[in-house]
Amino acid sequence: MSILPDNLIIRRARDSDLTEMARIHASSYPGAPLTFEERIRHIRENPRLPLEDNWVCERDGRLIGIFALYNFRMYRGESIIPAGGIGRVAVAPEARLEKIAYYMMKHAVEVMDQNGIPVSILHPFRHSFYRKLGWGLTSNIRFWQIPPQYFPLYPERSNMNPALTNDNFEEIMACYHHFAEHHPGLLVRDDPVWYETILKNSIAYTYRSEEFGGVEGYIIYKYDKLAKPELYMVSDLEIREIVFNNKSAFKGILGFLSSQRDQIRSINYHDHYNLPLEYIIKEPLTAGGISNMWLGAETARIGAAIMVRIVQLRRILSTVSYSNCSGEVTLNIKDELNPANSEKLFIEINSGKLDFKKRNSTDLSLSTDIATFSSIYWGALSLKDALYHGLVEIEGKSDDSFIFDFLNFPKSICMDYF
């Protein structure tokens, strides 16, 4: 483990820490709509996070920092790999700007490495902070606010039905599993996560066609009541999640949303897929958006999604299915928190099969930092763009075209919040 200052200790949380943990949490997340007692319960009773997976930082015997390390499982094509989720990072006001968060994140990377967790994800409080520590940007999220009458009134909406029973919920879970097998980055969810997080206090509708019989898609949402008393019959519809396994299910969901136009002012949706909705809806203008000559129609707000970090570079490269390419390359990846990733990797690919070789050099080398390489691995940043913008260097006299096939990863998404 790394050497900490003599007066710092990072250890697993205990029940006796809860009061101080809640104090630090409240000072870092003051906008969370939780009482002090609710913060304690939130830490103690999270369905995804036992108390012992929370960590605390002590200085001279007093708690000054906390973070959580979730033990996720992530879909990566045909495989499921361990993934470490970083959350609840907080530093007490009296200890800020003293590298406490840095020491905690370095410790988190070391713990994940020791436990064989090859990749990490997190929701950043500030992207630049985590990028310096090796987490890379992933794909954008587009936040849509669309009047329901702008959606096409597809006839497939007649196949949408409410999910009311445990059998219906089990079918939703099976639909998600099938979808996740074809969309890398999504997390495996057990029953407590579904019932206590995803479905709790929400409404779910499923799409089921006569041809297939099973659930082919679903939508989970809530109503957001408007503030004015005279608008008691009108609200916004806040989408928690949309999943569809074929075109008919997608059209059924959109048609269902269109049919809500009498009592819904706006459909609000955080789109992880970057769906081409502006080509589907009748008017590509967000609710309350502006339209002018310079911008055109304001369609959606764009945000940066979660960040991802490769913890174990060699293992991650070994778990990927590559296209039918062949060649050799040396990877020079700079990683401050995990020096093992900074060791040169001499890679040979033969008809899509990767092998690590013991040698001093290859004709081609690729150099970058672990944050940039993590973004490439997530499919959020193409090697072509990274090279053009100076984020990656390729050196050597051999044909480098195979590297673009080698590092052509599918786009990943993650729809879970933690």
List the chain pLDDT tens, one digit each, 418 residues: 667 888 999 999 999 999 999 999 999 999 988 999 999 999 999 889 999 999 999 999 999 999 999 999 999 977 999 999 999 999 999 999 999 999 999 999 999 999 999 999 999 999 999 999 999 999 889 999 999 999 999 999 999 999 999 999 999 999 999 999 999 999 999 999 999 999 999 999 999 988 888 999 999 999 997 756 665 667 999 999 999 999 999 999 999 999 999 999 999 999 999 999 999 999 998 888 888 889 898 899 999 989 999 999 999 999 888 877 889 999 999 999 999 999 999 999 988 889 999 877 788 999 999 999 999 999 999 999 999 999 999 999 777 888 999 999 999 999 999 9
Are residue 299 and residue 150 in the same domain, yes or no?
yes
Are residue 191 and residue 210 in the same domain, yes or no?
yes
Are residue 111 and residue 222 in the same domain, yes or no?
no
8 Å CB contact between 242 and 108? no
* Percent of the chain residues topping a pLDDT of 70: 98
Are residue 150 and residue 287 in the same domain, yes or no?
yes
State pLDDT tens for residues 228-254.
666 566 799 999 999 999 999 999 999
Amino acid letter for position 258:
S
Are residue 211 and residue 250 in the same domain, yes or no?
yes
Instruction: Tell me how many domains the chain contains.
Output: 3
What CATH number corresponds to the domain at position 82?
Answer: 3.40.630.30
Last residue of a domain, one of 288, 304, 320: 304
Q: Is 136 inside any structural domain?
A: no
At residue 213, the pLDDT reads 81
Domain of 355 in residue numbering reads as 312-372+382-406
Q: Is 1 inside any structural domain?
A: no
Last residue of a domain, one of 84, 100, 117: 117
Q: Is 361 inside any structural domain?
A: yes
Are residue 356 and residue 207 in the same domain, yes or no?
no
Are residue 324 and residue 267 in the same domain, yes or no?
no
Are residue 284 and residue 352 in the same domain, yes or no?
no
**pTM attached to this predicted model:** 0.92
* Percent of the chain residues topping a pLDDT of 90: 81
At residue 376, the pLDDT reads 97
Are residue 14 and residue 149 in the same domain, yes or no?
no
